[in-house]
Amino acid sequence: MPVPETLSVLGVTHATDGWTNTTQAILDKTGRRLLHQPSHPLAILKDLIFDEFPDFAHYDSLDPVVSAYQNFDSLGFAQDHPGRSKTDTYYINRDTLLRTHTSAHQLQLLAAGKERNGELLGRAKNGVAAPENERFLVAADVYRRDEIDASHYPAFHQMEGVCTFSRNEVRDQLCKTRDAEGPIASSAARLLDTTEIGASNPVQPEHSAEEAAVLAEHMKRTMNRMVVRILTKAVEAQRSSGALPAEGGQAEFPVRWIDAQFPFTSPSWEMEVLFQGEWLEICGCGVMKQTILNDAGTPGRIGWAFGFGLERLAMLLFGISDIRLFWSSDPRFAQQFSPGQINAFRPFSRYPSCTKDVSFWLPASGDFHENDLMDLVREVAGDLVESVRRIDSFAHPKTGKISQCFRITYCSMDRNVTNGEINAIQERVRSDMVGRLGVSLR
């Protein structure tokens, strides 16, 4: 498909080039502003989290278009990191893209605090809480080329948290806090933490072992408290709605920490919480890479950061089974929620689904990626596509050519779709696969 000479994103025109792969279907998502609709589950969750961090600056209106430097280089992503690939990221052009994570704003906001950048600092909803962005939260829409199923969508939302301290604060204030409060604990949580800071999850050369340990404990205590409070509210909502008996439900939320690796933190961890019988991965977090703070002009500060997807937590808290519903304008969805309240989603009548298989030979060049197919189907079918999954793959014994078969499930969330409409969509998918992906249909 020909690429236009320019793309317009939220009223700003950008030149295109050979890297451009952002479709109009994705560009249309950038103006939906789900986090600014007070009764939307994502906005409700965002505000609940903001309330848990009253002394952090709160940002939820930062532009989704960022530079490759902001999104990757400033955070230490290697040049060959798969996240940089055109198959994973929506590029406006080679140097400009739709952010793939809220971490793209870390350096920008830290530098704004150091430079007293009034324009950027003024975007905080409560800038007086942290007037130099020494602590901040960022909630935003992010974009990634991904698979299609009930829990994946190319546009979703993340929450980023950054907390920094002077080295004197780490040595003095945080140590005193740790001694006063004792080990990380909560009356509603049991902590499971067997991780160790060491060779496989190392302290950065710029930090002492004591500094890293104090930062890690402060971070884990903060995250534990936030998650337990939010999950407790979810259980209370279920009780008040009658979904749970007055004395029923989960009273404790065991938390476990797992060693992890991220380009922009070290040591790093993932946090999981046991909720309704399953371990839920909440977030990735760790001690911030000192290079980020140095580049922001604040080498005398050190800190920690976390990031997680809002949809995953909202699906759990509100009982929403299909991620597409967050983007639905169906009043049967939107009218179920109220600002500041967590309540269980009541599913409405499901319309019948329709499955279509498409089989094809891969191009001889081998230049095929599943995410390209996912993006093509989404562009043609929009939110009528429920899932796309590969169900077969084999190599021809004589020619060595590779054949694959994908099953596409179509299902509307808000109306009954006719067979004729689905057939027309499927034929366009098949035609575009030949013209744009270079495959040969079987």
Domain boundaries, given as residue ranges, for the chain: 32-64+99-334, 354-441
What is the rounded distance in angstroms from the CA atom of residue 66 to the CA atom of residue 100?
Answer: 9
Q: What is the pLDDT of residues 250-305, one digit of tens each?
A: 556 788 899 999 999 999 999 988 877 778 888 999 999 999 999 999 999 999 99
256, β-bridge pairs? 192, 272
Q: Which two tokens stand for residue 61?
A: 């209106």
Q: What is the pLDDT of residue 359?
A: 97
Contact status, residue 408 vs residue 378, Cβ threshold 8 Å: no
pTM for the structure as a whole: 0.89
Contact status, residue 58 vs residue 128, Cβ threshold 8 Å: no
Q: What is the pLDDT of residue 299?
A: 96
Question: Over 50: is that where the pLDDT of 45 sits?
Answer: yes
Contact status, residue 90 vs residue 101, Cβ threshold 8 Å: no
What is the rounded distance in angstroms from the CA atom of residue 425 to the CA atom of residue 116?
Answer: 52
Q: Do domains 32-64+99-334 and 354-441 have the same CATH topology?
A: no
Q: What is the pLDDT of residue 402?
A: 94
Q: What is the pLDDT of residues 74-113, one digit of tens each?
A: 999 999 999 999 999 999 999 999 999 999 999 999 999 9
Give the pLDDT mean for 57-74.
98
Q: 354-441 is classed in which CATH architecture? A: 2-Layer Sandwich (3.30)
What is the rounded distance in angstroms from the CA atom of residue 207 to the CA atom of residue 236?
Answer: 42
Q: Name which of 152, 143, 150, 140 is nearest 106 in CA terms.
A: 140
CATH top-level class of 32-64+99-334: alpha beta
pLDDT tier, 440 (very low <50, low <70, confident <90, very high otherwise): very high
Q: What is the pLDDT of residue 186?
A: 42
3-state secondary structure the chain: CCCCCEEEECCEEEECCCCCCCCHHHHHHHHCCHHHCCCCHHHHHHHHHHHHCCCCEEECCCCCEEEHHHHCHHHCCCCCCHHHCCCCCCEEECCEEECCCHHHHHHHHHHHHHHCCHHHHCCCCCHHHCCCCCEEEEEEEEECCCCEECCECCEEEEEEEEEEEEHHHHHHHHHHHHHHHCCCCECCECEEECCCCECCECCCCCCCHHHHHHHHHHHHHHHHHHHHHHHHHHHHHHHHHCCCCCCCCCCCCCEEEEEEEECCEEEEEEEEEEECCEEEEEEEEEEECHHHHHHCCCCCEEEEEEEEEHHHHHHHHHCCCCHHHHHCCCHHHHCCCCCCCCCCCCCCCCCCCEEEEEEEECCCCCCCCHHHHHHHHHHHHHHHEEEEEEEEEEECCCCCCEEEEEEEEECCCCCCCCHHHHHHHHHHHHHHHHHHHCCEEC
Give the residue, 271 or 247, on which the prediction is more confident. 271
Q: Name which of 306, 366, 12, 303 is nearest 163 in CA terms.
A: 303
Give the pLDDT mean for 121-125.
96
Question: Own/partner pairs for 118-127, CB < 8 Å, 24+ apart?
Answer: 121/57, 123/59, 123/61, 123/62, 124/57, 124/58, 124/59, 125/50, 125/58, 125/59, 125/60, 126/54, 126/57, 126/58, 127/57
Q: Name which of 51, 38, 44, 40 is nearest 229 in CA terms.
A: 51
Question: Over 60: is that where the pLDDT of 424 sits?
Answer: yes
Residue in the block written with tokens 């140097």: 95
Give the pLDDT mean for 238-258.
66
Give the residue, 174 or 152, on which the prediction is more confident. 152
What is the rounded distance in angstroms from the CA atom of residue 13 to the CA atom of residue 9?
Answer: 6
**Taking phi first (over 0 means left), then psi (-120 to 50 degrees means alpha), and beta for anything else, what does residue 268 get?**
beta
Give the residue, 404 or 184, on which the prediction is more confident. 404
**Taking phi first (over 0 means left), then psi (-120 to 50 degrees means alpha), and beta for anything else, what does residue 400 get?**
left
What is the rounded distance in angstroms from the CA atom of residue 54 to the CA atom of residue 223?
Answer: 14
Give the pLDDT mean for 44-67.
96
Single-letter amino acid, residue 435:
G
Mean pLDDT computed over every residue of the chain? 90
Single-letter amino acid, residue 227:
V
Give the residue, 235 or 309, on which the prediction is more confident. 309
Question: Over 50: is that where the pLDDT of 232 sits?
Answer: yes
